[in-house]
Amino acid sequence: MTRTLRLMSAAGALLLAATAAPAMAGTTADLLKRLHEKGILTDEEYQDLLKGQATETAQVAPTAPPVTPDASGGAALVRMTDSGVGLQMGDVTLKFSGSVNGFYVHDSGEAPNATNSVVGGVATVGGNSSAIRNGLLPAFLKVEAMTIQGGWDVGAHFGMYPGINSVSYVGGGANSGGNPRALQTAGIDFRQTYLTFGRAGFGEVKIGRDIGLFGSEAILNDITLLSSGTPSGNVAPSNTTLGRIGTGYIYTDFQPQITYTTPSFSGFTASLGIFEPLSSLTGPEESNKQPGFQAKLVYDGKLGDVATRVWLSGVSQKHNVIAGPDYTGWGWDAGAKVTFGPVTLVGTYYDASGLGTTALNLFDTDGLGNKRDSHGFYLQGLATFGKISVGGSYGESNLDYANIADALTNPTLVDKNASWVGQLRYGLNSWVTLLGEYVHTTSDAHNGNKAQSDAVAAGAILFF
């Protein structure tokens, strides 16, 4: 009885395919193959139906002109994808998506003096400057090839992030300091190279280089992601500004990883990954022997007209210092995004030890490998009325001394970086958004030194 029902179901699918597209060579055979791969047809049923279809095809005279052979052998159809720019060729989808942006940024900072020197400060010291540059996001082009093989959704993903400004390639690769001279080239940051495989009920495995888990929600929900935020290095701009990095959260970064994400259970998803260990950017030399670990838990839900996204993430990694004590750096962050009507509110908080500030493992220890603690937060609101959005946020990042000796040795070490942001957006069309922004940034040192700067940015960002 079960076999009869399965054959009837398969026959119905074949009839539908034949009725909907009688001139598509190979459509029925492809459908049979799909049903077989998904386990709907047994090997015996598949062969029986395949033989029956071959007989039927031989008896029916062709009613359409022959199809010119192509790379698909004439068995695949070419269709547009539902998003981005791309093609669906048989059971393979090739998609291109990306973004381009540019801003005029005027940054006004204080002239250097004895009272505004802050080691690790992000406020500008050095007078006024103007630049045409990228915002927090450089441009990007993402190329993806996706298909279903043996019942598994699989994909290859590549993300290239070029800037519009020339860079020096000294000390930071594609995101090194700027080099605003003729006959130079922009940096191309190949941030993403990873594969995925998954299926319904199983979840998804990711292997390669992609955005991390810890701190990822903080930056992805930050309104300055689409604009400038704190400029940083406006005299000789690099590929990106800082946005709110270092004034509310530690940058998650793009890292080599093997990460598993569960299916959604009543709105909850969890991710757990092992990561390439990172050495300190400013501490003593390390030779790390163990991977890092990151995890994230997310809840997406809706109560009436109120949509909510809540997250909690964490990171932990042991550092093996060559000439000093080993230590384990760790951190966690939590936050929520609430949308009701035209208003979206976001709040985040992080706490860490041996993780540093602004970037992962920047100023994470003193010169001997003793850990420094850090914490920070930001609060943000965005209201949208038709094509116009108005937003604002405040955030800060704080860094503590490791011990008294650290305080005596590094009196001008940053104590707090903070910024106020005001933003105005206009949706020109479905691709282009125009943005204007004002940012006030302050950097305070532990010894009382303080730097302040103000920036104005105006430009546009395009997504496709």
Residues 21-49 pLDDT 10s: 333 334 455 655 655 555 555 666 656 65
Whether 109 and 42 map to the same domain: the answer is no
User: Is the model's pLDDT at 15 over the cut of 50?
Assistant: no
Over the chain, what is the mean pLDDT?
A: 87
Beta strands in 167-267 (DSSP E): 186-199, 203-211, 254-261
For residue 339, the domain's CATH number is 2.40.160.10
pLDDT digits (tens, 9 = 90+) for 397-413: 999 999 999 999 999 99
70 and 151 share one domain: no
pLDDT band at 68; cut points 50, 70, 90: very low
Q: What are the residue ranges of helices labelled H in 112-201? A: none
Number of domains in the chain: 2
Residue count (the chain): 464
Residue where one domain finishes, among candidates 56, 74, 92: 74
The two three-digit tokens of residue 459, written as one number: 């430009």
CB 314 within 8 A of CB 216: no
31 & 89 share domain? no
Q: State the Cα–Cα distance between residues 285 and 271, nearest whole angstrom.
A: 31
Q: Are residues 56 and 85 in the same domain?
A: no
* Whether residue 24 is found in the same domain as residue 103: no
Half-sphere exposure of residue 150, counting CA atoms within 13 Å on the CB side?
3
Assess contact for 348 and 218: CB atoms under 8 A. Answer: yes
Are 70 and 95 in a shared domain?
A: no
Spatial contact of 256 and 273, defined as CB atoms under 8 Å apart: no
| Residue 174 pLDDT exceeds 90 | no
Burial class of residue 322, CB neighbours in 10 A (0-12, 13-18, 19+): exposed
Model confidence over 339-376: pLDDT tens digits? 999 999 999 999 999 999 999 999 999 999 999 999 99
Q: Which residue range(s) make up the domain with 422?
A: 79-463
pLDDT digits (tens, 9 = 90+) for 153-170: 999 999 999 999 999 888
**What average pLDDT does range 246-265 have in this prediction?**
98
Q: Of 55, 74, 93, which one is at a domain's C-terminal end? A: 74
